[in-house]
Structure 1
Amino acid sequence: MCLAVPLKVVNIEGNTAQAEIEGVKRTIRIDFVKDVKVGDYVIVHAGFAIEKLKEEDAIENLRLIKEVTDALK
């Protein structure tokens, strides 16, 4: 099973970006997604952004992920 998570882009340098979730930053590649800008939310799988998301969709997705992980505790 694969998992992709929404991250918020906080810095871009060429085809590489810094993205974060809850203060945890990751370096990701943005080669596959057009017109990524700082502040955009992207779905990231295996270190690659694969799709842009609307902010409200990203927040809802993160809420649902938290709900599932909380239920597993």
Structure 2
Amino acid sequence: MTCSHTPLCPSAHASDREAAHCTAWYPEQGWALLCNGLLCFEDTGALLPDGGIVPPHRPVGQHAAASA
């Protein structure tokens, strides 16, 4: 996929990949497609355009960290 935004959105492999513009959003299904080809899921995981996987990366809350 090619981004036409100015400035260009980060690539799907960049560390700030989730900053790209949303091109399709389906909250009832729990996913969104970004202009860099990244398919983001509501659990914070993602699917890269090449089929690679970004595991969920939810922040650990203070309560969860204290009980660990």
- Whether TM exceeds 0.5 here: the answer is no
Which structure has the greater CA radius of gyration? 2
Task: Report which of the two has the higher share of strand.
Answer: 1
Could you tell me the TM-score, scaled by structure 2's length?
0.31
Relative to the length of structure 1, the TM-score reads 0.30
**Higher RCO (C-alpha 8 Å, min separation 6):** 1
Q: Higher helix share goes to which structure?
A: 1
